[in-house]
Structure formats: C-alpha cells, structure tokens
Structure 1
Amino acid sequence: MTRQAKRLFLIDGSSYIYRAYFAIRHLSNSKGEATNAVFGFTNMLLKVVREHAPDHLAVVFDAKGPSFRKELYPEYKANRSAMPEDLVPQIPVIKNLVRAFNMPALELVGYEADDIIATLAKKFAAEGMEITVVTGDKDLMQIVSDRVRLLDTMKDKVFGLEEVAERFGGTPDKVVEVQALAGDSSDNVPGVPGIGEKTARDLIAEFGSVEHLLANIDKVKGKKRQENLRDFAEQARLSRELVTLRDDVQLEVDYDSFVLSEPDRGALTAIFKEMEFHKLIQEFSSDERATGEGYRAVLSEAELDALVATLKKAPRIAFDTETTSLDPTRADLVGISFAVTPGEAWYIPLAHRYLGAPEQLERRLVLDRLRPLFEDQALPKVGQNIKYDVLVMRRAGVEVRGIAFDTMVASYLANPAAKSHGMDNLAAELLSYKTISYSEVTGSGRSQIGFDEVEVEKAVVYAAEDADITLRLAEKLAPMVEESGQQQLFAEVEMPLVAVLADMEWDGVRIDAGFLEKLSAEMEVKLAALEKEIHQLAGGSFNIGSPKQLGEVLFERLGLPRGKKTKTGWSTDVEVLNKLAEEHEIAARILDFRSLAKLKSTYSDALPKLVHPDTGRIHTSFNQTVTATGRLSSSEPNLQNIPIRTEEGSRIREAFIPAQGNLLLSADYSQVELRILAHMAGEEVLRESFERGEDIHRRTASEIFGVFPDMVTAEMRRQAKTINFGVLYGMGAFGLAKALGIGNKEAKQYIENYFARYPKVSGFMEQMKEQAREQAYVTTLLGRHCAIPEIHSRNGAVRGYAERNAINYPIQGSAADIIKVAMVRIHERLQQEKLKTRMVLQVHDELVFDVPEAELEQVKALVKKEMEGAVELDVPLVVDMGVGKNWREAH
C-alpha cells in the first residue's frame, strides 16, 4: 500500500464485541452490571486509533433480526447458542460509546456487518483509497485486494494477498469456493460432508471453482468423495451463496462522512462513569479542571504567619504532603499544602531544587511554626490516605494529632463496591472534577522527574488542588457515611485505627537477615535435589519453570492423562497438577518445587533486601481500604500470606524476632468465625458447645456422623472441620466432595446431616442471601456494609459466587471489625499505661507484640481482656496466646 493514498479503517464491531466479551471475564461496576465487553471493545477501538492514526473510520455492526441468508437457509447460524445474558445489555452501551467518539456506527436490517464492510471496501477501493478492515473473521479474506487488507489487532497480524494465498491456496476469489466445500461450523454452513478445509483447498487448486469441480466429479479421486459431491452438489452451491459477501448493499454514505473528529467528551465521561472505567474517565473527562485561581504559594515569613493565623481559626484543616518517595518511612518533605475553605488553598514549597528555583522558606522555621497546629488534638485534621502524611510528618519531626477524617476511609465505608477510593476517582465521581495527574507535572517513564524538580508555579496548583479537593470530598462524604448508618463504625473504629496502623508501620518488625540467608542456601540445595529427581522421573532435563516445556514433558513425552490445552499450550496450573499428583509422583514433586521456589523468592531472598537502612526493621504497609470485608491487608511486603502449614513456611516465621532483650507475644482468636456464626445464626447447639468449651469439630463430627464424641476418629474430625469452615464459605456438595476427596452423593448427605443438626445455620444463610438481593450488600455485627453487587448478575456462575459471599462476608467482616476494635483499645491501653510494648503485626485473627520481659504478664492480661471483651457475643470469645524468641515459637 502506498502512504500517499487516502486511508479508511472499517471496524467489524460485532466480531469485536464477542471477542472482547470472551477475552475479559467477570468485570462489573459497583452495581453488579457486567462491563467486560464494553471495556475490551473500548480498548480495541483506542488501540486502532493510537497505533494507526486513521483519519477516516467507521464501525460496522450486525443489525437486529435475521439477514437475507436466513431466508435462503433457515438453519443458517442455527447451532449458535443464545447471546450470553450479561452481554445483551452491553450492546447498546457499546454502540452509544462509538457515537460518543463521534465515529459512524453503521448497521442495516437484513444484512450482516460483513456485507456492509464488503460494500464499503469495494466502493472506496475503486476510488483509489487504502482500506484496512479490523476484524478476526476469516470470511472477510474474500475481499482482500491490493488496496484492501485485514488487521487483527488482538493477534497483531495483517492479512494481505500473500496471507490469503497461504491460508486458502489461491487468490481471494477462491475463499468462497473453498468455504463452499468445507462449510463453516460456526455459522452452520453445511458444505460437503467429508471435505475439510485442506481437502477443499486442494480440490479448488485443481479444479478452480465449485461449478467446474461439480462438472468433473469423475476426475476426483476416491469413490466416497465422488459420491458425496454428487449427493450434496446443491448443498455446495447453497453454501457458496451463504458465504459470499454482498458488495452491493445500498448505503447512503460518502468518504467525508467517515472523517474522525474530536470525541464528545461529555457523553464519553457519562458512559465511563456509569461503567466505572477510572483511567478512561481521567483521559476523556469533560469535568471541571483547576485554573489555579484561589491557590497561593507561601514564600515569605509574612505569608506563613498569615496562613498560620488562618489555620488557627479554622474549624478543621485539610492538608497534604509532597515528598520524594511513596514509602513514608523513606520520604523527605518537598512541600505541604493546606485548605480550610473550598476553592482556596496554600502550598508551602520547602525543597524544590532546580535552576532558577525561587527562594523558599527554611524547613525548620516552617515546621516550628506549624508544629503547635499539627500537635493540637482539638484541631481536626482531614486527609486523603492521611496515614501516609502522618508518617511523613513524623519523619520530619512533627507529630500529627487530631486525625479526624480520612476521605479514602470514608469512601471505603460509604461506597464499598467502588473499584477505587483514590482521590482522582473520587473527585471525578463525587465532584465531577478532573484532578491534575502526577504525570502531568513530573512527566512519565524515563524522563520522569522527582517532585523536588517540578517548577514551583506548577507545584502550587497541583499540591494546593490536592488539599482543596480533599476538603471538598470530606464535605461530600461525611453525610454519605452518616446516611449509610456507619458513622459510629467510622468515628470509633476506623478513624482511631489510622493512628494505630501508623504506629505499627513506624515501629516495623525486626527480622534475622542472617537466618534468612542460611535458610535460602538450604532451600537452594533442596530445590537442586528436587530438580534432579524431577528430571529423572521425566527421563531427561528441561526447564521446570517453563509452563510450555513442562506441559510437553507431562502430556507428550510422558503421555499423562487429564491434560487440557489452552491457547498457549498445555495447562500446568495447580488444579491440573493436584489431580495428576494423586497418581503420578512427578506432579507431586513439581508442586513441591514450585512451592519451595516461591517461598525462597518471595520471602527468604526478598525480606532481607527490604530491611530499612536506618531502623534495621521491615516496615510493611497495612491497608485499610482494600478488602471487601473490612479485613486489613498488608503489602510491600505482604506479611499475611506466609504459609504456616509447611515446615519451610513455619521456618520463615522463625526469622521474625523481637527487639534485643524482648519476647514476641502472639494472641490469636480461637475459631472466631464459627463463634460469630453461632451468634448471628442463633444456633443453640453451637452456642452450647462453645459455652462448654468443647472441641467444636469433634462435636460437629459427633452430630453429623451420629456417634458419641469419644467415638469420633481423627478422620471424622478432619471431615467435620472441613464442613464447619466450608459452610462459612457457602460451600456446596460439589466443593465439599472435592475438598474431602469423596463422591458428590456422600458430600450431599454430609451437608444435609449438618443442616438437620444445625437448622438455624441454614436459615441464616438464606436470610443473608435475601438481604444481599434486596440491598446489594450485607452487614456485619458493627454495621459495616460489605458490597455484593454481582448478586443480580445474569451470569449464573458469577451470581453463585456472590451468594457464597453473602454467607461469608457478614462473618468474615464481623471478625475483621472485632479485631480492629481490639487493636484500638489495646493501643490506647499501652499508651495510657506508658508501656514500652509495641503491637507490630496483624495477620487475620492474630496480633503480634514486641514485649519487654518485665511487661510480659501485664501485657498478656491486658491483651486477653481487650481481645476477649472487644464485643459482646452470645458465645465467649477466646484468645490463644504464645510467647517466644521468634514468631514461630510464639505462634
């Protein structure tokens, strides 16, 4: 194709809708509405525009209703299953999206998208234009010419004359001849029985066309083939008619009507907000933007004094820090911004360093003037992810007290179904405001600069906007939290917890790096031995870390059963290997190898590198606004996923040690979720068992197997434990059968026996599912909303998953609430009693403390009292405690 010719891109919209739908699964907005096809289609459309910069473009769709081909052959496409239910409502959204991009969206009743594309390609190619058809449909290969090519963006592949010849053995006009014989199972085009595409290609190469072939059947090799061609001659002719694209559709369009113009940003913003595509909202937003009016730099002492006077009189202040790092324990202050009235804000630059930078106030002077305000408990402070700013200020030598409102935490409670609680997204959704992105002021990629290199003039607008928008969001979110009925949870648990987590992150946890290095060396030896054993079992060496090579070894070289192919080769995921491991030793060894390799890379190798150079400790981040249930998570590094059931996993915990001369105290709630279930379901048998301090799994085994407790075997107890916890996660007979390695019928009987003995549990489960259906969320004991937007999904599998969450979330969320209450109270007591003990880790139902030996008994009593008395249940909360010189020993 020549560069000078005019170019037209024609996008096969209908083909790409399906491809997008199946490429991205289970994506939905906070209302539970499926958005996967819309998202995939949008990205495909943007990829074409960005990578190929077309100046003329149209998107073509199949119109509703049958095409003329259905009249020719009523069975045409009859074998296609109905459109997936959750795709149906996405189709009009996609068409509206195309129109919002100001692109023509073409469709015509009675014709398919391919016919319209063929017509347009023929018309404009004849006028000397270059046509690129964006599709994954092989049928369109028949329209390829020296001016028409196909582009499959999902495979990044172009199809021209050469590719058509390679696939169909000739020029594009041979495509319909080959397809007429071979048929097309996807469209239910019959073709001729016994003739596949390869045979059809050979026959057309020899005879030139279907008609010439049918006129010379006697010359075809093979009696059966001759017989089929005679018997199905009319079927071959019909098939040819069905696969031939119409290129004479009457369309009232001209080239100029396809010119690309600026998108309708207002319409796009509305669609993207409805779909909750946050990055796309930022990119195409028509929302209000900062002008810089009302934002001021503080560069003189007089301006600083005036600001301090204003802040002193304010009912509350929103503040934000600009720094040199995302890690608050390593970040240095570059500047601080404040807002007390919407639309007004100040930025105090402290450390902008670039040629021509204005003179800035001396850091110590600024911090000394601001310290009384920050440390004033009575002056409420507002922030977005304020924990970060609290730690940054502490590193700068200033304590922040009076932490009153975190907009990220408030959003997490008020809108738990939201995919993000970041400020940019909150501003777009709640204020219809587009914030300045970090990359707009610092650049991105290799050319990105640090914030200390950003020009002060730019930094003022960016930083002051952060404080201003935070204040506006607080005003918007406060009534939303109140209306949701979670104000007490917010004020008495979540906000006090911010200060608790800040202290935990600041203190960090000590590790024995030398021990981990030795452990890594031991693991290396074990991995080498495992690798050798696997290679022996495989009959030769290969890269165990390569899924492709592993699949070939297991299912081709060794010929093991149960293999399943994916687009990229044989599947070697955990599920496949676990099934194989039941009968084949090599699979079990591969699982051991993977597990050990992951432990080594994730923990024993990685943790020593994360030790802070100044403190000698690891400072994980505790995330308050991530999980669906209110549970805390941890990141950089994640200390909540260290396995404890394996010897190697337990040894990782051995590396976590207390400060010199101290001990580690582990306090772990005993079976807290089952106790919460007993309370919430009002199940007397379970309550009675917990009140007596019985072994709940032995009691359950006794109940469902119909034997006396002292007759319960270890295997019965194991099965009962699986059932007890399976119920919490809404596990059905199929899941239980898989977990216990028994038949579905037997598993079904176990569950029936369980509910027969604990009938109120079954009632509670149905009640929770009904609550979820009514309000798209369930509530915990403390009133937390756990969102379940997928409860109304048209996809049965997604809906089933949501129903299981409806059972589990109130229980897991209540457990999260309880330990948070305990953390807040224990933190307060440790401070009140001026103890040196520090809470250093929280992992699900466990708290870990670094305790001076002299305080041990006092702290044990304190922790036990606050954890067991965190909330009042109908059954006792019980805490198990352990003490040791490392975490493994304590746990």
Structure 2
Amino acid sequence: MSSPRLYLIDGSSYIYRAYYAIRHLSNSRGMATNAVYGFTSMLLKIIRDEQPDYLAVVFDSRGPTFRTEIYPEYKANRAAMPEDLVPQIPLIKRVVQGFRLAAFEEPGYEADDIIATLARKASAEGLEVTVVTGDKDLMQIVDERVSLLDTMKDKRFGPAEVGERFGSPDKVVEVQALAGDSSDNVPGVPGIGEKTAKLLIDQFGDLESLLSRLDQIRQPKRRANLEQFADQARLSRRLVTLVDDLPLELDREVLTPGEPDREQLTELFRECEFQRLLDEFSSDPQAVAGSYRAVLSEADFEQLLQRLEAAERFCFDTETTGLDPLRDELVGLSFAVEAGQAWYLPLGHYYLGAPPQLDRELVLKRLAPLFADPEKGKIAQNAKFDALVLHHAGLTLEGLVFDPMLASYLARPAAKSHGMDAMAAELLGYRPIKFEEVCGKGKNRISFAEVEIERAVTYAAEDANITLRLAEILAPLLEETGQEKLFREVELPLEQLLTRMEITGVRIDADFMAGLSREFSDKLQALESGIHQLAGGPFNVASPKQLGEVLFERLKLPKGKKTRTGWSTDVEVLNKLAEDHEIARLILDYRSLAKLKGTYTDALPKLIHEESGRIHTSFNQAVTATGRLSSSDPNLQNIPIRSEEGRRIREGFIPEPGCLMLSADYSQVELRLLAHMAEETTLKEHFCSGEDIHRRTAAEVFGVFPEMVSDEMRRSAKAINFGVIYGISAFGLAKQLGIGRKEAQEYIDGYFARYPKIRAFMDKCIAEAKEHKYVTTLLGRRCAVPEIDSKNGAIRGYAERNAINYPVQGSAADLIKLAMLRVQRRIDAEELSSRMVLQVHDELVFEVPEGELEEMRTLVKEEMETALELDLPLVVDVGVGKNWREAH
C-alpha cells in the first residue's frame, strides 16, 4: 500500500502567481478579484487532480521576521504589493476557510519555514509530502519522501531533479550562500553566480570547507572576493537556511480536507461575482426557490386578488407568445408578494389535454384597477416590456416602484449583464430555469402557450420570486453606491416615459421609402458597373473574398493585408486605398448605399405595425457604459446625417395629417459640459459671448485674430475641440486631419496651453478612475472603467480615454434624460396633444398639431435649456418641418 500523501501549498507564492496569471477581473463595484479567482481555480485543480489525503495552505505572516532582524536589507529591494492585490488577501484566506482546509501562518517566520517544519515532521511519520510551489529555496528540503510540484511548469522535483541544478538537496544552501539571491536581496559573494557556486561546492563540499582552503583557489580575484566577503557568505547561508523545528503540531484530523462550507463560499463568490463557481458551490439552490402555485379556479383567483389588494406592493411578470410586446399575445401572469411564495395565472395555454383556464376578459377586467393604481407599488424586471405587454392586452401600468435591471445598471455598472439570470447567479448564487429548458431551441422551439401548465408554473412563478429577491438586495445597494436619487428621479420615471414613446411610435411614408429604395437600386447598379469597369471584369462586389482577389491579385493594389480567410477589405484598408484609387472610393460608396437600402428603405416599411400604422422602436435603457439610450428593432439612432442619402431617409419620417415634426437639438452640448466641468473660464466665456467656438479656439491655438482664421484652421480646431473629449492622441489627430504627427502634437499642446484647466480635468478623471475603477457624471452616475490599471498599454490607453470621455458623455446622457422628463411633464400639465416620438443622441423629435406649434416651440426650448444649471448657457436649436429632415 502507498503511504498517505500530504500536500503543502505555498500560499504566498500561489497568490502572486494567480494575480499575474489573470490580470483583468473585477466585480461590478470595480473591486479587483483576479487573484481570488486565480487562486481558487489553482486550489481546486490541486484538490481534483491530485486528490491528496491531507492538505494545508501556508501563508507568510505580516511584519518582520528573524531574517530581517539579522539583516535589515533582506527582501528590501522587493516592490510593494500591488495596490489592487492588498484587499484580495483576506478574500483568499476566506476561500481557504470556505473549503475547510488547514491554514498555517507563524509570526516572525516565513511560509517556507512552516513548510520545512511540517514536511520534516510528516516525512518522519511516513507520509509522502508534496510541496506545491515554484520557489527554489524549498529545494533544500527535498528527499526521498519530500518533493516539489511546480504546477505552472507542470514539473515535479525530487532529489534527482534538484541534483541537476545544485548537486544534491543538502547542497542548496551552500550554493545559495555563495551565489546569493537577487529576488530576496541575499548578498552572497560578488562575482560568483549559481554555476560557479555549484562548481566550488562540488569541489570543496560546503561553505566552511571552501573558506578554510582558499589557498587552493587559483583565480586571484575570486579568492580575494571570497576572503573579503566570507562573513557575508556566512550571513547569506543563515538567511537561506530554512527553519524546520518550529513548534507546530502535525494533526492529521486538521489536515484532512473537509466538505466545503457552501454557505460561506456562496457569500464570498456572490460578493466577487464568480458565476461559474456560484453555480458549482451554491449553498442551497432550493433556498432561493419557493412555493409556487397555479391559479386555475375562481377561488384561487379570489385568494390571489385578496393578497394583491392587501399588499403595499407586489412583483409581477408576464409570459407571452413571443418577444414583440406590441404584437404577441399574453399567455399568463406571475405574482409575488413576499419572497418564497409566487403564483402563476395561466390565461392562454393551448395544447392537447390543457386544463380549463379562467376567462381571460374577466380576469383582466378584475386586474386592471390594481395595475392602474398609482398608489399600489409594482416591481418588475425590465418593466417596460411588461408594461407594453399589458398595454397590448388592454391594461395600463402605473405605480412602478422598482426595476432590478435599472437598479443593477446604476449600482453595478461593471456587471457584464443586468439580465435576471445573470443577477440571480451573481447576487443570489442561484441558477434560474432557462427559457430554453422549458420551450426548447432551434427548430424544436415551441411557444410558451404550448408549454404544459405544470412546467410553466415553476418557470413563470420563479421569475416573479427571483425578481422580488433581487429587488430586496439591490435596493440597499442603490443607497450604498449613492445612486438612489438618480434611480428614483431619472431612470425609473424615464422608463415610464419610454414606454409611452414606444406605444406612440413614429410614422413613416411607405410609398416614399419604396421609391427611395428603387432610386438606391439604380445608384447601386451604376456604382457596380463603374467598379466592374475599373476592375477589368464582373465579380460579386458584395463578396469580401472576391473583392480582395480583384484588388490585390488582379489589380495589384498596394497596402493589402492578409487574414485567415483571405485579403482584408475592411473600411480602414479601403479608406487608405481610396486616397489614390477610384475603385476603392466607389466600393466604399457602394457598401454605404447598400447598407442604407437594406437597413432602412427596404426594412422599415416591413416593420409598420398593422394596427397603429407606425413603427415602434425599442429604447434600451441599461446597455451603454455612459447612460446613453440606444435604439433597436429598428435602430433609428444610426441613420447617417452627413450623407445626402441618409438625409433623404429622414424625409420618409412624417407626422400624422394636421401635424408637423418638431426637432430640438442641443448645440455643442458636450463641449459646453466640458467647459463647465473643467471650470475652464476662457472657454466658458467664449460660450457665454455666443461666439463661433471653433473659430475662437482656432484663434487661440494658432495665435491669430478670429477674423484671420481660415477654413482649414477652423476645421483643425473643430477636430481638436471634439477630439479632446475622447482623449484624442497626436497620432489620431494627425490621421484625421491628414497632417504630420509632430504638427498634430503642436496643435494639441497649443490647445492645452490656452485651456490648461481642461488638461487638469482630464488628469483628474484618470486619477478618479484609477482610485475607484469608475468615473462619475454631474448627476453622480457611475461609469465603470475596470481596465484602467491594465498592464496592456493599448487596453490601458483605451480605458484612460474612456475615463476622460465618460464623465462628459455621461453628463450629456443625464441631461437629455432630464430634458425629456421636464418636457413631458409640461406637455401633460398643459394638456397638450403633442407627442414625443424619438430621442436620438442630443436631439428630441416631436409630432405637433399645427395649432400647438408656437406653444411647443417655446415650451421645448425653455425646458431643455434649463434642464441643468451650468456656469454657461445651454443652447437648443429648434426646427419644424413636414418631415424629420425638414425639421432637423
């Protein structure tokens, strides 16, 4: 029978290895977790791969050791522990506790001394000892029963392997006494490295024998160094020799790995947001679950109604036949009043053998007052979707008090997802039932209406229960992170406004779009003919493979770059070629026009709702890093405004008969916010005087009178003004303006010389990001910058540019949201019929009855320009027209 095996993990060595192995990992609060995750993964690998009988993790203790007492310079050259590693050490020790493993730490001694002591005792008791480390100092304890395992190199060191390097394990300290150790600042003897030291010890046996026979050293300089630094060598030997007789007990019961403390690990992994580990070590998955009931009888329904009517607030969720809330049908509703209990009310399940369900009209009629009561608090995940579903079913949602998705978006900006499943895993340590597990996927996917009610109950009721539990966790987190006010006063009311806007939709002229599509087709054919003529023959212009072969093999154009699938023909490559080759310019025009045709003129008419006759885009509130809204299905925020074709598309957006389109757009809002936030007096004065800011900046940077500024100077100043917000580099500016990098750097230097507080503001933003892993907007919104300390220069540079840009862009996002809310409140207060239909970056678009035009023009401008109090005026340009293009 083999001997019992003890594994001793050099915890301090493991910590640093884990830290540097995974450099970029943090939780949603910006707390670094890379070392914790790496350490845990390495620890689990040892446990699973090696399956030790006994296991202990050994750590260095804080404070001085006996070695620093005899030699204060010992390890003095080591850099301080990285700042983001320091707070991870207690978490790593909690990992060890959570896995119920023995841990050792001894004041005044190093982990190596503890390991040496435990290994000697264990070896004497007949155990086989494996020391998990990459530290060569521990090679001195290797013998027939003690070996080292370097998991990073996947190599084991026994006596033979140590002998290859040092001669034998008992020679390790002798060699190190001579060679020293630069990593630990052990001095050794100058001029003697490890190879020479090994030769000397091989010849003389040990340090003292060598020092007593120096007359046999033939090299004069080496002999002189050994004579002069003999005491230093003896000191070095004391420093590298491990203590193996510490008063430690080898208690096999303590060293036996126990069952993991899942409750402790769940709490820790939830704090660190380790989803994979949470899935594996969740303390009790069923603890999050609860008692779920189907509501199939009138008595059950009455009981549910009584609970909802008595409750101060309730959580609800909807189940539908699809993902389009304004087209798909309501299948059922789930409710939760307190954590652990939930009901599912099926209304539209149809399958062979489906039980009778309550009358849909009657149920919705009874529920309508509850949903419409503004005093009855409602909680829902991604509540806008559910509000739209209810609207489509004939119900109105009022009284929304909490949406976990929005709360997470504000309180946990670095979280990878604010979806319910991801939050449940990270915050509750629970994996909810996935939709695919109930409805299948791909060609086998069925509608939720076809799911058996018995299965639907658990899935649907669980959603309401989990959402309620998430709300209970996230509510105090909003307070803790200072996001409560932003949540209550901006994001939550905005969600309800966006619901109204999505219900309203925007009207398009389908006939105009069809005509424009035909026009684009003619232009595409003409472009294709021109491309074929320049290419010397026909080919598929839309095929990147064929295009690459034509450009770089047939035409032999320069600057081609290969990818795994062939020649690259991306925008960067084509833009470079377009400087000298007409075919590249035509290809760029072709691609741009084809995208407009496919994305807008062909697609938009197909999205017109059959009942409303309008298009209903989705405004996404919890996606971007800065708080900006995005638009999808269709995306109406990316219609190009600079190209004539893009502007033509906007002609197709029209109002109802008797109405006009009104567009209100903030003028240079990010520059104004930058001037305010940086407290740059000169720039603020330019805005206050109403000057052309780009012309004035050009005058400042180039040292001329404003009247002498050329169009080229103004263009350069405009590029600098907007580029600064995005942390533009000399390289980026040079590329944008087509000038040399040195000249571009001079422009930037001139800019900061005239506006020094902007440079100070940028430095402040980067410092804030480095301290907190996030930056803040004027309203206190946190924008995560988790990669700010990346060792990768490109990643770190990108993060630094974001740290500069996010506070400004995020403040602009906050501003437009405040403006939307203020404008809508005025419209409601004055009982106007005008409707807000679109939000695109810094622009709001309204459909306005002709009789309300002047009132709306004044109202919108007033509310937008006073939405935020700044040290300089906000300016809004208002336009009116028969279509969006005319208005803008």
- State the TM-score, normalizing by the size of structure 1: 0.71
Q: 1:110 to 1:318 in 2, by over 3 A?
A: closer
Q: Does 1:466 align with 2:460?
A: no
Residue pairs, 1:693-842, within 5 angstroms: 693-842=690-839
| Rounded Cα–Cα distance in structure 2 between residues aligned with 1:424 and 1:624 | 18
Q: 1:682 to 1:412 in 2, by over 3 A?
A: same
Show the counterpart of 1:417.
414
| Rounded Cα–Cα distance in structure 2 between residues aligned with 1:440 and 1:264 | 30
Show the counterpart of 1:689.
686
| Rounded Cα–Cα distance in structure 2 between residues aligned with 1:500 and 1:600 | 31
Aligned partner letter, 1:415: R
Unaligned residue ranges in structure 2 (runs of 5+):
1-21, 42-47, 52-81, 100-131, 135-146, 157-259
Q: 1:115 to 1:710 in 2, by over 3 A?
A: closer
| Rounded Cα–Cα distance in structure 1 between residues aligned with 2:261 and 2:527 | 60
Q: Does 1:639 align with 2:658?
A: no
Show the counterpart of 2:436.
439
Show the counterpart of 1:601.
598
The superposition leaves residues 448-502 of structure 1 with CA deviations (integer Å, 9 ceiling, x where unpaired) of: 1111111111111111111111111111101111111111111111110011000
The superposition leaves residues 254-308 of structure 1 with CA deviations (integer Å, 9 ceiling, x where unpaired) of: xxxxxxxxx9999999999799676896699776147975211112222222211
Aligned partner letter, 2:477: M
Show the counterpart of 2:495.
498
Q: 1:450 to 1:278 in 2, by over 3 A?
A: farther
Show the counterpart of 2:223.
none
* Aligned residue among 830, 845, 848 for 1:848: 845
| Rounded Cα–Cα distance in structure 1 between residues aligned with 2:586 and 2:330 | 51
**SS of 1:639's equivalent?**
coil
* Aligned residue among 567, 570, 585 for 1:570: 567
Q: 1:779 to 1:889 in 2, by over 3 A?
A: same
| Rounded Cα–Cα distance in structure 2 between residues aligned with 1:434 and 1:112 | 32
Show the counterpart of 1:147.
none
Residue pairs, 1:110-509, within 5 angstroms: 288-289=285-286, 293-509=290-506
Asked whether the 8 Å contact 2:289–2:465 carries over to 1, the reply is no
Q: 1:267 to 1:516 in 2, by over 3 A?
A: farther
Aligned partner letter, 2:671: L
Asked whether the 8 Å contact 1:32–1:790 carries over to 2, the reply is no
| Rounded Cα–Cα distance in structure 2 between residues aligned with 1:277 and 1:112 | 23
Equivalences, count: 680
Structure 1 position 634, deviation (Å): 0.5
Asked whether the 8 Å contact 2:292–2:341 carries over to 1, the reply is yes
The superposition leaves residues 691-738 of structure 1 with CA deviations (integer Å, 9 ceiling, x where unpaired) of: 111110111011001111111111111111000000000001111111
**SS of 1:792's equivalent?**
coil
Asked whether the 8 Å contact 1:416–1:628 carries over to 2, the reply is yes
| Rounded Cα–Cα distance in structure 2 between residues aligned with 1:739 and 1:680 | 26
Aligned partner letter, 1:718: R
Q: Does 1:674 align with 2:646?
A: no
The superposition leaves residues 89-128 of structure 1 with CA deviations (integer Å, 9 ceiling, x where unpaired) of: 99xx9xx9xxx9xxxx9999899999999xxxxxxxxxxx
Q: Does 1:621 align with 2:621?
A: no
Show the counterpart of 2:877.
880
Q: Does 1:546 align with 2:534?
A: no
* Aligned residue among 525, 530, 533 for 1:528: 525
Show the counterpart of 1:870.
867
Show the counterpart of 1:19.
none
Asked whether the 8 Å contact 1:726–1:736 carries over to 2, the reply is yes
Q: 1:321 to 1:797 in 2, by over 3 A?
A: same
Q: 1:25 to 1:608 in 2, by over 3 A?
A: farther
**SS of 1:596's equivalent?**
helix
Further displaced range: 592-601 or 539-548: 539-548
Show the counterpart of 1:178.
none
* Aligned residue among 512, 515, 518 for 2:512: 515
Structure 1 position 548, deviation (Å): 1.8
| Rounded Cα–Cα distance in structure 2 between residues aligned with 1:34 and 1:660 | 58
Aligned partner letter, 2:328: A
| Rounded Cα–Cα distance in structure 2 between residues aligned with 1:650 and 1:287 | 57
The superposition leaves residues 39-93 of structure 1 with CA deviations (integer Å, 9 ceiling, x where unpaired) of: 9xx9xxxxxxxxxxxxx9999xxxxxxxxxxxxxxxxxxxxxxxxx9xx999xx9
Further displaced range: 536-545 or 786-795: 536-545
Asked whether the 8 Å contact 1:337–1:345 carries over to 2, the reply is yes
* Aligned residue among 657, 660, 665 for 2:657: 660
Show the counterpart of 2:534.
537
| Rounded Cα–Cα distance in structure 2 between residues aligned with 1:278 and 1:619 | 35
Asked whether the 8 Å contact 1:265–1:285 carries over to 2, the reply is yes
Residue pairs, 1:30-45, within 5 angstroms: 30=28, 31=30
Asked whether the 8 Å contact 2:288–2:466 carries over to 1, the reply is no
Asked whether the 8 Å contact 1:29–1:35 carries over to 2, the reply is no
Structure 1 position 652, deviation (Å): 0.9
Q: 1:475 to 1:582 in 2, by over 3 A?
A: same
| Rounded Cα–Cα distance in structure 2 between residues aligned with 1:266 and 1:741 | 61
**SS of 2:559's equivalent?**
coil
Q: 1:291 to 1:717 in 2, by over 3 A?
A: closer
Asked whether the 8 Å contact 1:289–1:434 carries over to 2, the reply is no
| Rounded Cα–Cα distance in structure 1 between residues aligned with 2:535 and 2:356 | 70
Q: Does 1:589 align with 2:586?
A: yes
Asked whether the 8 Å contact 1:323–1:334 carries over to 2, the reply is yes
Asked whether the 8 Å contact 1:287–1:434 carries over to 2, the reply is no
Q: Which has the larger radius of gyration?
A: 2
Q: 1:660 to 1:34 in 2, by over 3 A?
A: farther
Asked whether the 8 Å contact 2:289–2:340 carries over to 1, the reply is no
| Rounded Cα–Cα distance in structure 1 between residues aligned with 2:561 and 2:264 | 44
Show the counterpart of 2:125.
none
| Rounded Cα–Cα distance in structure 2 between residues aligned with 1:881 and 1:434 | 50
| Rounded Cα–Cα distance in structure 1 between residues aligned with 2:150 and 2:532 | 58
Further displaced range: 504-513 or 311-320: 311-320
| Rounded Cα–Cα distance in structure 2 between residues aligned with 1:280 and 1:589 | 53
Q: 1:496 to 1:541 in 2, by over 3 A?
A: same
| Rounded Cα–Cα distance in structure 1 between residues aligned with 2:638 and 2:50 | 49
**SS of 1:880's equivalent?**
strand
- State the TM-score, normalizing by the size of structure 2: 0.71
Q: 1:678 to 1:354 in 2, by over 3 A?
A: same
Aligned partner letter, 2:730: A
Q: Percent identity?
A: 65
Asked whether the 8 Å contact 1:296–1:345 carries over to 2, the reply is yes
Q: 1:535 to 1:382 in 2, by over 3 A?
A: same
Structure 1 position 331, deviation (Å): 2.2
